[in-house]
């Protein structure tokens, strides 16, 4: 395509020729076997990604040393026993016509797994910003051992058939720890006051890798161009050592940014950040070195990469989470089907947060195939069924599209005139517009399939009895909870849903009851409109975790807008212009209060479920109708309901 000519042009790096400039960067999956070897799940996941025809695929982190692993299921490259599995991974990517690099890695202090056992090491005994636990300072002998282990791991990559190797020198892991004055307090030859002095460890790692792989094997180094944290090094600082890195043997610079301790979850860029928001850092790299540079920063469409490459900011562009949301996005763009691309919504629920919070292996909130490739049914179903789906929120829409894909006869019912469910409300608060774009896309995809859709129609036991479906998927969502508080029936009390859809427009001093995501985002929405907001939550702290990227940003905006957050607070009565509360056992009156917004969550709509149980009709309950939770649970349950028909 002419408008993607730069992105689709080949690039030669040493003996390696890339068919295009799209890169799939490393993303942790937690799919490895418990011993760190490549699993069947790893192979299936990578095979599905490789079908998307990226020019270069870089594997997830592979440990160079047993004392530097993030967790047991991290892939290993610290022993020859890992070579056969790694070779299978490379072979699968080659079969698809793509090039592959193995990313080699040492966690240093950023491993809760090792920290909790007292086994984590770092350049200095300085606590992890993320985990608040302290590693042991490495001895010179240990430093030399780890340098050698990077070289040995790179040698194994070459033996396993990889086209290149990437050294992980980003995001707060061991190599970044040596670069950073925040974590490297050493006074020997591996410390120093300047970044150039502290770069010795990194340079020696690159040199060791070059010695092991020889002169004709491409080496990429992924850097945090800037730490993005107070007191950390800057992109200008990084420019002082980049020529040394190239001289040591680097062929590619992968210009990422930030650490896992940087504020705002910048390394996991939530929807608050625009696509390509940090491509300028790649430009800073290109200004001082003459090797290919990869730009990073929430890219979701090849046209965005075309612009970055066209400006000369970078030679390649990394699409991380977009490869989880839609591994075929590049193919669709080449075929002129951009409208069919499922664009990442940067929610981080199935990928980053799932691993961060210890919830399991990788998933994608809007693509149920991701991470489930070994159980994803290709279809068609052996016995097609007449399937009714009640509700067209995320769970219902995914269930409908998956059931139809597998050959079932699907009828989708929606009680309202518009499909989309709770996502219609979730897309209204600040920086959530992308959620609305996604649900519009999903509705459009379902409509294109020819599924029979009946809007403004509620499914009842009587209708089911007359229609006689083989199976009913109950995706009827939830209803707002109205707590039994004296005065809640007053006219100046409304729900968050009434506020978000514009039916009610509070002014002046507003109390939001509920500190979960609905309450926090409603407070954010109102504050954006100049309303003075007080938020009250019964729990000691908000369920919206600051450790998550979006959670951090919402908390920050409310703090910046001087919203008053009251935790451990119960509302005892609502009066005319005031509210009685008990905070940590102390009674008080909030006044003046011009409007009260109730945002304490949802309860499942379970009438249809009870009808199906009473009638003995085969059915599956999914999404908020089962239990109000996130997009991730809704889409996964919707998909599995269809797969298990």
Q: For residue range 456-493, what is the model confidence (pLDDT) as tens digits?
A: 999 999 999 999 999 999 999 999 999 999 999 999 99
CA-nearest of 109, 227, 224, 110 to 170 is 224
The H or E element spanning position 243 is helix 242-248
Rounded to two decimals, what is the model's pTM? 0.95
Neighbours of 403 (CB within 10 A): 29
Which domains, from first to last, does the chain contain?
Answer: 2-356 (3.20.20.70), 386-480+603-643 (3.40.50.720), 493-600 (3.50.50.60)
The angle formed by the CA atoms of residues 24, 294 and 208, to the nearest 5 degrees, is 95
- How far is the C-alpha of 260 from the C-alpha of 116, rounded, in Å? 18
pLDDT at 260 over 90: no
pLDDT at 263 over 90: no
Using DSSP, state whether 526 is helix, strand or coil.
Answer: helix
Q: How confident is the model at residue 294 (pLDDT cuts 50, 70, 90)?
A: very high
CA-nearest of 512, 515, 500 to 594 is 512
- How far is the C-alpha of 347 from the C-alpha of 343, rounded, in Å? 11
Cα 400 to the center of its chain, rounded Å? 25
CB 362 within 8 A of CB 355: yes
- How far is the C-alpha of 601 from the C-alpha of 318, rounded, in Å? 38
What pLDDT is recorded for position 207?
98
Q: Residue 290 gets which letter from DSSP?
A: -
pLDDT at 528 over 80: yes
Spell out where 559-601 has E strands: 564-566, 569-574, 579-583, 586-590, 595-598
pLDDT at 183 over 70: yes
What pLDDT is recorded for position 121?
98
Neighbours of 588 (CB within 10 A): 12
CA-nearest of 282, 300, 317, 283 to 18 is 317
DSSP calls for 360-378: -S---TT-TTTT-TTT---
Q: What is the mean pLDDT of residues 568-591?
A: 96
In tens, the pLDDT along 205-254 reads 999 999 999 999 999 999 999 999 999 999 999 999 999 999 999 999 99
Phi-psi region of 132 (alpha: psi -120 to 50; beta: other; left: phi over 0): left
- How far is the C-alpha of 499 from the C-alpha of 204, rounded, in Å? 59
In tens, the pLDDT along 341-387 reads 999 999 999 998 888 778 899 999 999 999 999 999 998 999 999 99
In tens, the pLDDT along 403-424 reads 999 999 999 999 999 999 999 9
The H or E element spanning position 164 is strand 164-169
Neighbours of 313 (CB within 10 A): 21
What pLDDT is recorded for position 266?
74
- How far is the C-alpha of 46 from the C-alpha of 69, rounded, in Å? 21
Burial annotation 1-18 (CB, 10 A radius, 16+ → b, else e): eeebebbbeebebeebeb
What pLDDT is recorded for position 261?
81
Average pLDDT value over all residues in the chain: 96
The dihedral sign for the CA sequence 112, 118, 121, 124? positive
CB 430 within 8 A of CB 557: yes
The H or E element spanning position 11 is strand 11-13
- Residue 410's DSSP bridge partners are 387
What pLDDT is recorded for position 354?
86
- How far is the C-alpha of 440 from the C-alpha of 523, rounded, in Å? 25
Spell out where 326-437 has E strands: 386-390, 409-414
- How far is the C-alpha of 62 from the C-alpha of 69, rounded, in Å? 8
Q: How confident is the model at residue 549 (pLDDT cuts 50, 70, 90)?
A: confident
What pLDDT is recorded for position 591?
96
CB 123 within 8 A of CB 201: yes
Q: What is the mean pLDDT of residues 192-199?
A: 97
Q: What is the mean pLDDT of residues 33-39?
A: 97
CA-nearest of 93, 107, 86 to 24 is 93
- Residue 599's DSSP bridge partners are none
pLDDT at 95 over 70: yes
The structure tokens 């562009």 sit at 317
Q: How confident is the model at residue 2 (pLDDT cuts 50, 70, 90)?
A: low
- How far is the C-alpha of 402 from the C-alpha of 445, rounded, in Å? 11
Which residues participate in catalysis according to the annotation? 173
Q: What is the mean pLDDT of residues 575-599?
A: 96
Length of the chain counted residue by residue: 645
pLDDT at 632 over 90: yes
Q: What torsion, rounded to 10 degrees, do the Cα atoms 19, 22, 24, 25 define? A: 120
């Amino acid at each position: 395509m002419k408008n993607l000519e730069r992105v689709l042009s080949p690039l030669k790096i040493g003996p390696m020729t890339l068919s295009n400039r799209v890169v799939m960067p490393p993303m942790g999956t937690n799919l490895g076997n418990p011993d760190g070897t490549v699993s069947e799940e790893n192979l299936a996941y990578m095979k599905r990604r490789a079908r998307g025809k990226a020019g270069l695929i870089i594997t997830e982190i592979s440990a160079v040393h047993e004392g530097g692993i993030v967790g047991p299921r991290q892939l290993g490259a610290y022993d020859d026993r890992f070579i056969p599995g790694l070779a299978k991974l490379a072979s699968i990517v080659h079969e698809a016509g793509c090039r592959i690099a193995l990313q080699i890695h040492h966690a240093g202090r950023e491993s809760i797994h090792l920290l909790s056992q007292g086994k984590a090491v770092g350049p200095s005994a300085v606590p992890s910003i993320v985990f608040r636990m302290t590693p042991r300072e490495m001895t010179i002998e240990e430093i030399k051992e780890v340098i050698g282990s990077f070289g040995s791991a790179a040698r194994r990559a070459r033996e396993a058939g990889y086209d290149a190797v990437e050294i992980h020198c980003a995001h707060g892991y061991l190599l970044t720890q040596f670069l950073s004055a925040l974590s490297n307090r050493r006074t020997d030859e591996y410390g120093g006051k300047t970044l150039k002095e502290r770069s010795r460890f990194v340079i020696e790692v690159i040199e060791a890798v070059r010695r092991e792989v020889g002169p004709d094997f491409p080496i990429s180094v992924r850097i945090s161009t800037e730490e993005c944290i107070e007191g950390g090094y800057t992109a200008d600082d990084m420019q002082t050592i980049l020529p040394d890195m190239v001289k040591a043997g680097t062929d590619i610079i992968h210009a990422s940014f930030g650490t896992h301790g940087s504020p705002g979850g910048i390394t996991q860029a939530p929807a608050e950040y625009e696509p390509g928001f940090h491509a300028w850092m790649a430009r800073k790299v290109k200004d001082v070195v003459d090797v290919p540079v990869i730009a990073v920063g929430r890219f979701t469409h090849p046209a965005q990469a075309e612009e970055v490459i066209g400006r000369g900011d970078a030679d390649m562009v990394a699409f991380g989470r977009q490869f989880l949301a839609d591994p075929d996005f590049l193919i669709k763009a080449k075929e002129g089907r951009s409208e069919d691309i499922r664009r990442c919504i940067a929610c981080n629920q199935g990928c980053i947060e799932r691993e961060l919070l210890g919830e399991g292996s990788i998933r994608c909130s809007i693509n149920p195939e991701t991470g489930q490739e070994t159980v994803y049914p290709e279809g068609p179903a052996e016995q097609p069924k007449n399937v009714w789906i009640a509700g067209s929120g995320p769970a219902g829409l995914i269930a409908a599209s998956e059931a139809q894909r597998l050959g079932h006869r699907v009828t989708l019912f929606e009680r309202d005139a518009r499909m989309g469910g709770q996502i219609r409300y979730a897309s209204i608060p600040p920086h959530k517009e992308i959620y609305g774009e996604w649900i519009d896309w999903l509705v459009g995809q379902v409509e294109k399939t020819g599924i029979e859709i009946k809007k403004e129609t509620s499914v009842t036991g009587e209708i089911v009895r007359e229609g006689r479906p083989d199976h009913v998927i109950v995706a009827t969502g939830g209803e707002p909870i109205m707590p039994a508080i004296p005065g809640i029936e007053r006219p100046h009390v409304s729900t968050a849903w009434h506020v978000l859809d514009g039916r009610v427009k509070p002014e002046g001093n507003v109390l939001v009851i509920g500190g979960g995501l609905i309450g926090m985002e409603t407070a954010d929405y109102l504050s954006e409109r100049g309303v003075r907001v007080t938020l009250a939550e019964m729990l000691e702290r908000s369920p919206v975790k600051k450790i998550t990227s979006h959670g951090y940003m919402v908390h920050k905006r409310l703090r910046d807008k001087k919203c008053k957050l009251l935790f451990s607070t119960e509302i005892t009565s609502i009066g005319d212009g005031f509210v009685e509360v008990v905070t940590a056992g102390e009674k008080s009156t909030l006044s003046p209060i011009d409007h009260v917004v109730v945002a304490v969550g949802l309860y499942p709509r379970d009438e249809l479920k009870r009808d199906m149980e009473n009638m003995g009709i085969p059915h599956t309950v999914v999404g908020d109708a089962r239990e109000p939770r996130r997009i991730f649970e809704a889409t996964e349950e919707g998909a599995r309901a269809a797969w298990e028909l």
